Structure 1
Amino acid sequence: MPTDGTYTAVVDRFEADLAVLLLEDDGETVGEVVVDEEALPEDGRHVDAVLAVELDDDELVGVTYEEAETEDRSEQAQSRFDSLSQRPPSEGDEADSG
């Protein structure tokens, strides 16, 4: 279990009325915490939402939805997906360009 402190958390999934948050420290996943979905801000109750969370005695004592960070990560993921989904040129395509 991660130590007390402040972490960046990403909503990984929901299981019934529970949210599983992956905790990050310096960009590395360092653990997870399971909380009631109701403990999250309403706008942060979706998969891949980025949150700033504070833990004290293994309890969630503070949580803030990070809208800008959520959007940035979503755009980065979409950009990676778009670049991976582009078909590399075939030999015939290269001959046509010359």
Structure 2
Amino acid sequence: MTCDGTYTAVVDRFEDDLAVVLLEDDGETVGELVVTEDRLPESGRHVDAVLRVELEDGDPVQITYESRETSDRATEARRRFDELSRRPPATDDESDSR
């Protein structure tokens, strides 16, 4: 069970009218929260939305959408994908073997 407190959370997926939200502490996933979609802020009702979740007695008492953090994470993910998709430069050894 996740301790009470405030967490950064990321919307992982939707299953029917339920949202599965992963709770993070210092960048590590520490728990999972399942809430009805209507409990999320309207702007945060999409996969990879970053939220701030406050838990009391294991239940969410406040959920807010973090638009800046959502945008920053999306930009960083695109940057990493672009970096990985670049073809590495050919080395002299590879060009000699053709």
In structure 2, the residue matched to 1:42 is 42
Amino acid at match of 1:66: E
1: CA distance between counterparts of 2:49 and 2:13? 10
Normalising by structure 1, we get a TM-score of 0.90
In structure 2, the residue matched to 1:63 is 63
2: CA distance between counterparts of 1:73 and 1:89? 28
Amino acid at match of 1:50: V
Amino acid at match of 2:33: V
Q: CA deviation at 1:87?
A: 1.0
Q: CA deviation at 1:56?
A: 1.0
Matching of residue 2 in structure 1 with residue 2 in structure 2:
yes
In structure 2, the residue matched to 1:72 is 72
Structure 2 residue runs of 5 or longer lacking an equivalent are none
Cα deviation digits, residues 44-98 of structure 1 (max 9, x gap):
0000000000111121100110000000000000000000001112358x97xxx
Amino acid at match of 1:65: Y
Q: In structure 1, the residue corresponding to 2:75 is in which secondary structure?
A: helix
In structure 2, the residue matched to 1:23 is 23
Q: In structure 2, the residue corresponding to 1:87 is in which secondary structure?
A: coil
2: CA distance between counterparts of 1:32 and 1:74? 21
4+ residue runs over 3 A deviation: none
How many residue pairs get matched? 94
In structure 1, the residue matched to 2:81 is 81
Amino acid at match of 1:16: D
Structure 1 residue runs of 5 or longer lacking an equivalent are none
Q: In structure 2, the residue corresponding to 1:62 is in which secondary structure?
A: strand
